Structure 1
Amino acid sequence: MISVKSLPDGARIFLDGNLALATNTTLGNLKGGTYKLRLEKDGYSSWEKDVPVKEELVTFVDVVLIPRSVEIKPLTTSGVNYPVINSNKDKIYFIAKVNSDLDTPQKSGLWALDLNSSIFNIFKTAASLIFPDTKTLAYSSADLLDLSPSDNQMLIKMNEKGYYLADLSGTDLPVATTTAVPTQNNWQKQVLAKKKTLSDKYKLGVPLSEISTDPNTIWSPDEKKFVYKKKNEKGDSWQFYVRNLSDPLGVGEENEYLVATVSLDSKTEFGWYPDSKHLITSECDSAKQPCVSGSIHLVEIDGTNNTQIYSGSMSLGSVFPTPDGSKIIILATFNQSAPPNLYAISLR
C-alpha cells in the first residue's frame, strides 16, 4: 500500500508507467516489491522515484512539486541589509536605510518581517519598524545583526568596537556595549546545550554525539534528523549527509543518506524545508566573494529529486522558506543601480 500526497494536490499518479489515480490518495492491493512511481501536474516539474512496498505495511510518499516558472514578488523596495531569521523561522529582521527627496528617517532603522502574515509590500502590512533611526543614532548604519538562540535579544554591530544589545521582547531601547564577546559566548553555550539535549535524547554515541553537537550541524524542524558535512576519504570534496533518527523508520527509509558531494571551493549551503523531509540547497555560481548570483534547489533527504527552484541574483545565507513552505524569501538585486531587496518566490 502506498499513501501518496503532493503539494499542490491533484497530480496525476503513474504506477509502473500506468495512469492510476490523482493525489492525494492511497494505492492499495499491491504486492510486495519495488514500484516506479511518477507524479505529473501541468505547470510543475515532474517527480519520479522507485518506491518499496511491503505487504500489510504503508509506504508514505510526500511530494513537493516545483513550478516550472515561479512567480517572484518584491517585499521591499528601498534596500535591505543583513537579514537574519529567528530560530522559529517565522520572522526576518533586517536593516533598511531609506533615502528620498522628502527625507523620511522614520522609515530607516531595524525592521521585522512576519512570515506568518500575508506578505505584501512591507510598508503596508507584513513588516514593522522595531527601532527607527534617531538624530543621534542611526541603526540603519549597522554592520551586522546577530540574534540570540531564544530570539529575545539581538546584538547590533555598529563598528568594530561598538555594539548595541537590544531586548526584542520589551519596549526598552538598545543598550550600548563595547564588547559582544561575553554575550556571544553565552549564546553559543545555549545552542550547544540544546543540541546536547537532543543528542542525549537519542543516546547517540561517539562520533554521532560529536557530529550532532557541532556548530555547523543543522537539526531539522521536527528534531528527528540533522544535516552535516565532512570531507571525503581523499579530502578533495565536501560530502553532505542527513542522519535520520526517526523510530521506527518508515518503509524504505534508512538511518543515513549521502545527499550531495561538492568541491572544496564550492559555495554551497544546506537548510531545512519546513516539512523536515526536504532540504533547500543554495549554491553560488562562482567561488568569488561576495556571492551575487546562484541557484536554489529543493532535494529530498535521500538526495533524490533534486529540483531547481530559482537561478539568478541571490545572496548566500539569505534564503529563507516561509513556515508553510509556500514561498522562499531571498535577498537579490535585479537592477545593478539599485540596492538589494527581499523577494518572495512563490512555490504554489
Structure 2
Amino acid sequence: MRFSINLRVVYTLVSALLIIVGSLVAIRFAQGYRFSFSQERSSVRSTGLLAANSFPTGAQVVVNDKLIGATDDTFYLEPGSYNVEISRDGYYPWKKTIQLQPELVVQTNAQLFRRVPSLTPLTYTGIHNISPAPDGEKLIYYTSSASAKNRNGLYILDLTTSLLNSQREPRQIAEEAAGFDLETAQFIWSPDNSQVIVISNGREVLLDINRKSVLNELPDVGFRLKEILSEWEAEMYIRERQYLSKFPPRVLEVASQSAINVYLSPDKKKILYTATASTTLAENLVPPLPAANTQPQERTLVPGTTYVYDREEDRNFKVDAIPSNSDYIKMATDSATPFVGKTLLATDLDMPAKTLAASPSSFLRMTATTSAETANNFSRYYSSLYSHGIQWFPDSRHILYTDGTRIYLMEYDNTNQTAVYSGPFDPFFIYPWPDGSRILTLTSLGSLSSPNLYGIELK
C-alpha cells in the first residue's frame, strides 16, 4: 500500500519544530547558556551575566585586570568571583568584587563621580541659620547683607528644578522685624513641608512658606504650641508606622530597643542605624532573593557601630565611615549644641496604632522643656545632618558624610568610598541636592564676609 504524503503538512510540522527549537535555544542563550566545542568542557555550559552599567555611560569595564568592553553592556562569564573595575577619564573609578552565579544577572549600577568637581554659587548675600525641609527639597535661611534693608530676612530656596531645568531664585517669606533675632532663631518644620514655626526671644509664630508674611503681624502660637506639635508628631508617627511595617519584626525590635539615629533611606527600603547594645540578627529574616548583594555583611552588632539593613535582600552591612579620632567628631563633641540621638516614634508596631484623640499624651515625645530643645528634636528627626552623622544620598545607594576635611560618598554596602571634595566647606552643613547631582555646603571661599551657599557639582 502506498501512503500519500501531504507536503503542506510536512512543511508546517517542520516549521513548528524549528520555531520551538529556536525559541528554546534563544531562551537558554538569554539565561547565559553557551555552546562549547572544547574537549575539556561539556557541549553546553551555563554562565553568569554581568550587566555592566554606569552613570555616565561609556566607561571602560575591566574584569580581573583585563579590558572586556565598555558600559552599558552585558557580559557572559563563567560562574565565580571577579574583581570588576569601571573607569572613565576625569572620574573616580568604581571597584567591587562580584560573585557571579549560573543563569543570574548581576547589575553594577556604578555611579562615577568627578575627580575635580566645580563649585556653583547659589546665594550671594550671605547666609545664616540654614535649615532644610523634611522632604529635602527646600531650605529656609536668614540673610542680613542684602543691598536694601527690606530685603533682609527669611528666604526659601527651592532645590527642585523647573521645567526648563533652571535653578529657581530664593524667595523672601519674611522681612527682618523688631523683637526677632533671626540669626539665632529656631525653626520647626511641619511634616508636610508647608509651614515653619519661628522661635525667637520668647516669641513663637507660624509661617506659611508659600507666601510672604510680616512677622510682627503674625499671632504668637506659644499658648497652643504643644497642640500644634502633637498634631505634627501624630502625623510623623503614622507615616513612620507605614514605612517600618514592611521590615522584619526582629529588625524593628533592634531598631527600637537597641539602636539610635535610625533613618530610613529615601526609597524606604533600607535603614541606617547605630547600635547601642550587643545583639545578633538571625539569618533568613526574609526569603532569599536570587543575585542578591554578595558583599560581606555583619549580623553581630557592636555598640557604637553604624550599620545599613536592606529589607529586600535581608543584608546587614557595617559602615566604616567617620574615624572616631577625626577632627569632625571632636568638633561635634565640643559644639555648643549637646548631642542627643534620634529615636523612633513608632515603637509599638506589634500593637494597634495610637490616635491623637484617644491618647493625646502619647504624642509629646518630641516636646522638651525648652523650645530650643524641641526644635532640635524635630530637626534631628527629619535629618541626620543634625545628629552629627551619616546622611542618606537621594539614590538610596550611597551615604554622605565628612571627616571634617573632606566630603565622602560611599555605597551602602561599605564599598567605593570616594572623597568627592576637599576644598573649603563648613563641616557642619553638607547636604545632598534632591536629584543627587550636587552637594550643598556653606563657604566664604577665603573671604571674611558671611558664608554663602554653594553647590559641589558631582555630575
- Distance in 2, Cα, partners of 1:170 & 1:131: 6
Q: Which residue of 1 aligns with 2:158?
A: 114
Aligned pair 1:89/2:136, yes or no?
yes
Structure 1 residues 175 and 151 mapped into 2: Cα distance closer, same or farther (>3 Å)?
farther
Aligned pair 1:260/2:325, yes or no?
no
Could you tell me the TM-score, scaled by structure 1's length? 0.82
- Distance in 2, Cα, partners of 1:139 & 1:117: 31
User: Which runs of no fewer than 5 residues in structure 2 stay unpaired?
Assistant: 1-48, 279-300, 333-387
- Distance in 2, Cα, partners of 1:7 & 1:207: 32
Aligned pair 1:71/2:112, yes or no?
no
Structure 1 residues 178 and 87 mapped into 2: Cα distance closer, same or farther (>3 Å)?
closer
Normalized per residue, which structure has more strand? 1
Offset, 1:310: 1.4
Q: Deviations along 1:71-93, whole A, 9 cap, x unmatched? A: 01211121112222223322222
* Dislocated runs of 4+, deviation >4 Å: 134-142, 169-174, 179-182, 212-215, 264-268
- Distance in 2, Cα, partners of 1:230 & 1:16: 36
Q: Which moved more, 1:75-84 or 1:165-174?
A: 165-174
Q: Which residue of 2 aligns with 1:145?
A: 187
Secondary structure in structure 2 of the residue aligned to 1:127: coil
Structure 1 residues 153 and 128 mapped into 2: Cα distance closer, same or farther (>3 Å)?
same
Contact 1:154 1:167 in 2 (8 A): yes
Q: Counterparts of 1:80-229 in structure 2 under 5 Å?
A: 80-100=127-147, 104-117=148-161, 126-133=168-175, 136=178, 140-141=182-183, 143-159=185-201, 161-169=202-210, 174-178=218-222, 180-202=225-247, 204-206=248-250, 208-209=252-253, 211=255, 216-229=261-274
2:208 aligned partner, one-letter code: D
Secondary structure in structure 2 of the residue aligned to 1:297: strand
Q: Counterparts of 1:316-327 in structure 2 under 5 Å?
A: 316-327=427-438
- Distance in 1, Cα, partners of 2:434 & 2:156: 15
Q: Which residue of 1 aligns with 2:275?
A: 230
Q: Deviations along 1:274-293, whole A, 9 cap, x unmatched? A: 11111111333xxxxxxxxx
Contact 2:59 2:87 in 1 (8 A): yes
Q: Which residue of 1 aligns with 2:391?
A: 271
- Distance in 1, Cα, partners of 2:240 & 2:256: 7
- Distance in 2, Cα, partners of 1:106 & 1:26: 59
Q: Which residue of 2 aligns with 1:23?
A: 71
Offset, 1:272: 1.2
- Distance in 2, Cα, partners of 1:56 & 1:325: 33
Structure 1 residues 135 and 81 mapped into 2: Cα distance closer, same or farther (>3 Å)?
closer
User: Which runs of no fewer than 5 residues in structure 1 stay unpaired?
Assistant: 119-123, 285-293
Secondary structure in structure 1 of the residue aligned to 2:242: helix
1:263 aligned partner, one-letter code: S
Structure 1 residues 139 and 153 mapped into 2: Cα distance closer, same or farther (>3 Å)?
farther
Q: Which residue of 1 aligns with 2:403?
A: 283
Contact 2:390 2:400 in 1 (8 A): yes
RMSD, matched Cα: 2.9
Offset, 1:323: 2.1
Contact 2:188 2:197 in 1 (8 A): yes
